[in-house]
Structure 1
Amino acid sequence: MADGTLGWGVKRSFRAYAVDGAAHGTITATGGATQAGGNGVFAFPDATGTYDTDAGALSAAFEGAVDFKGHESDGTYGLHLTLSDLRAKLDGGSGELTADVDSLGEKSDDVVLAELKAASGVLGVKDDVITLDDVTATLTEAGAGVVVAVRRRRALG
């Protein structure tokens, strides 16, 4: 597989917190990732990976990164979170979304941010394109921990 795109919003309330809320910060999409206007969702392009329509299995990696900065004081940020190397795996309609996470300089690879559940476990291919709509992403404890750690470090800093 090549040239797919992942559309993912990160949680709307976190995006609002980072830009319009207490953080008074910025969100920057890089490396080919883009963000929809109005503090919208992100698109991560250039997927590579594999799929098996008979087994209903998909494994994809996406280019790009998203960087959240806020709580700036004299050029130092109390919030600086980067999500990169996003990967989605689905098998039979269920799976996970992982990313490398850099939070204030502390890096963790392959953090399971969300459990994924597709409305249908069937991977349909039309003209060599797999489209999965209505995939629910439920934040995991590790994913929630990323946000809590950011806010905790801000409170302590």
Structure 2
Amino acid sequence: MNARPIRRTGSALMGAALAGTIIAGGLLAGPGAAQATSDGAAEACEITGGTLSWGVKESFRSYISGTIANGSWETSDGATYETPDFGWSGATGRIDPATGTGTVSFTGTVHFTGHDGVLDLTIANPTIEFEGDGKAALMLDTRSTDTEGEVVVDAAQQWVGDVSVGETVAPSGDALALADLPAVLTSEGVKAFAGFYEAGQELDPLNLDLEFTGCDASGAPAAAASDGGAGAEEPQIATPAVADTAGPQIPWLPIGIGGAALFVIGLTLGLLIGGRKRQVPASQPVAPQSAAVDAATPAEPTGPAAP
């Protein structure tokens, strides 16, 4: 029996089954994957406003305004000062409450001077980077001079402080308030303060008040009201036309295609295996099994034994 037609037929059937499986898999995975991607992209909450209040370091302010440095400070670009804190506004960024990670940035500049201009420190545009493990980094644009009046630091978004968050970074409704967040000076921040302080020195605590739009308590985007914001007193009853939007649907068509392909493969293989058995004509006698074995075994020599 020629095996090539059998192989070709089997290959064709297997190819058809594979194609059916791929199509079914595409129908099963396509919409779900797209939805998962869409949901993943929607997890982070957009920051639409907010403020940061921070006194930098109380002892540093006292030194600047005291009789030794005889200095002062000025605010600009939206920054403010109200004893004992400087203030920054215009918060922008995103926070993912599921992981506690995100970034919030502010605008505004504070300029410190003292010792007749020898001491000159500018800090601006603070950014808080939430790291997701109860910690955050304080970044600042900094420009500072040393005790000789030479510029030693002029950097954008320098890592100045380590901040301890210590709680879940998740909006409650459309707001997030984080008060009295402890902060310490980093080795990078030492240069910004002209070496007056060592790394690990405490800075003043930070206070954040952030605003969001469309974020519930868990941080997931809230569904927009269908009536444009106006409250509706009567309950809304779902109609059959939109019932398919609630919960996943069972893909009966791909399942049926895959099942049919498997059935055809099984049936065909059974026929091919059965067709390979040799058929014996009814008119031809069948030799007994013992005779067939004897015929296949060569007869032992009956002559004299070999010397």
For the 8 Å contact 1:44–1:63, the answer to whether it is kept is yes
What's the CA shift for 1:149? Answer: 4.5
The alignment status of 1:35 with 2:81, answered yes or no, reads yes
What is the distance in 1 between the residues matched to 2:94 and 2:67?
Answer: 39
What's the CA shift for 1:128? Answer: 1.3
The 5-angstrom pairing of residues 48-63 of structure 1 reads 48-63=92-107
Q: Compute the TM-score of the two structures, normalised by the length of structure 1.
A: 0.84
The 5-angstrom pairing of residues 80-91 of structure 1 reads 80-91=120-131
Pick the structure with greater CA Rg.
2
Q: Which letter maps to 1:126?
A: S
The structure carrying a bigger strand percent of its residues is 1
Could you list the per-position Cα deviations for residues 52-91 of structure 1 after superposition, in whole angstroms to 9, with x for gaps in the alignment? 111111301101011001111xxxx101111012110112
Q: 1:138 to 1:110 in 2, by over 3 A?
A: same
Q: Quote the residue 2:186 is aligned against.
A: 140
For the 8 Å contact 1:9–1:41, the answer to whether it is kept is yes
Q: Compute the TM-score of the two structures, normalised by the length of structure 2.
A: 0.44
Q: Quote the residue 1:15 is aligned against.
A: 61
RMSD of the TM alignment (CA)? 1.8
For the 8 Å contact 1:81–1:150, the answer to whether it is kept is no
Could you list the per-position Cα deviations for residues 5-47 of structure 1 after superposition, in whole angstroms to 9, with x for gaps in the alignment? 111111111111111241111111211111113xx11111111
Q: Which letter maps to 1:101?
A: T
Task: Report the identity percentage.
Answer: 30
Structure 1 residues not aligned, in runs of 5+:
152-157
Number of residue pairs matched? Answer: 144
Question: Which of 71, 84, 87 is matched with 1:25 structurally?
Answer: 71
For the 8 Å contact 2:144–2:193, the answer to whether it is kept is no
What is the distance in 1 between the residues matched to 2:103 and 2:75?
Answer: 23
The structure carrying a bigger helix percent of its residues is 2
Runs of 4+ residues deviating >3 angstroms? none
What is the distance in 1 between the residues matched to 2:92 and 2:196?
Answer: 30
Q: Quote the residue 2:156 is aligned against.
A: 109
Counterpart secondary structure, 2:194: helix
What's the CA shift for 1:150? Answer: 7.3
For the 8 Å contact 2:135–2:166, the answer to whether it is kept is no
For the 8 Å contact 1:118–1:134, the answer to whether it is kept is no
Structure 2 residues not aligned, in runs of 5+:
1-46, 146-150, 198-307
Q: 1:150 to 1:107 in 2, by over 3 A?
A: farther
For the 8 Å contact 1:118–1:133, the answer to whether it is kept is no
Counterpart secondary structure, 2:75: strand
What's the CA shift for 1:127? Answer: 3.1
Q: 1:149 to 1:138 in 2, by over 3 A?
A: closer
What's the CA shift for 1:124? Answer: 2.8
